[in-house]
Amino acid sequence: MIRSLLYVPAHSERFLAKAHERGADAIILDLEDAVPEDAKDQAREHLLETVKAVGRNGASVFVRINSGERVVEDAAAACRAGAATLYVPKVRRAEDIVELIAALDKVGAETGRPPITFVALLEDIGAVLDARVIVKAPRLLGLSVGGEDLALSLGAEPTPDVLRLPKLLVHYAAKEQGLLSFGLLQSTADYSDQAGVGAAAREAAQHGFDGATCVHPSLVPILNAAFSPSAAQRDWANRVLQRAAERDGAFEVDGRMVDAPVVARARAILGKS
């Protein structure tokens, strides 16, 4: 279960030092937007140490690589360092992932590591419209949408009304393929608005999103709570499954009919607990 993904600038010793203490399910070592141009090479060269350091409390370690001319070097370094997953920005085609896999074949053979997986970050409207094709790429763990860049590609403001439909389209494509779906249905650039982030995360969880990224550690517990079943949900699910074990066919719980799809939902809730 990956409910919270904490971005950490891969060049910043101050942020790296405590990343493993933040309680995030996954830590995204960011080589892209959070790293100044003149620090990118050094951040990549230190991945072997930083991947081990931030993952020492059990968090999955992802690396967000750069696009363009740095993509293969970044990806190879992350693969050698033992990162579980690459967060790949500006994915526009399934072939972007296929080509990256081919470029990493030699690294995988050299290290003997398990195949690295990918989260495709869709950041323009063309990628959103092609999401059902992109999800066919091999080794995809999940999809996410870059809300700010998507709005920019539309010439729009990153408001909830603007972002809701494209984010849902990508979410539906991920779920149809059985992939994870990360994100909120609105832009949350203001990380100081913890109440707003919590409300957005609960809304996303209701829609079936698995988790979301954040740039500030104060949001990690908020995301973990929002994307976990509540005590009331767990209690309801337990009662549903108890009644289901006692009888065949439909039955009633809390004055509402329960049939096979509802029983399956109860099992899914407890599977996330």
3-state helix/strand/coil string of the chain:
CCCEEEEEECCCHHHHHHHHHCCCCEEEEECCCCCCHHHHHHHHHCHHHHHHHHCCCCCEEEEECCCHHHHHHHHHHHHHHCCCEEEECCCCCHHHHHHHHHHHHHHHHHHCCCCCEEEEEECCHHHHHCHHHHCCCCCEEEEEECHHHHHHHHCCCCCHHHHHHHHHHHHHHHHHCCCEEECCCCCCCCCCCHHHHHHHHHHHHHCCCCEEEECCHHHHHHHHHHCCCCHHHHHHHHHHHHHHHHCCCCEEECCEEECHHHHHHHHHHHHCC
Binding site feature residues for Mg(2+):
123, 149
Residue 90 Rama label (left phi>0; alpha psi -120 to 50; beta): left
Characterize 178-196 residue by residue with b for buried, 16 or more Cβ atoms within 10 angstroms of its Cβ, and e for exposed: ebbbbbbbbbbeeeeeeee
Antiparallel, parallel or unpaired: β 251-253 and 256-258:
antiparallel
Binding site feature residues:
64, 123, 149
Binding site feature residues for substrate:
64, 123
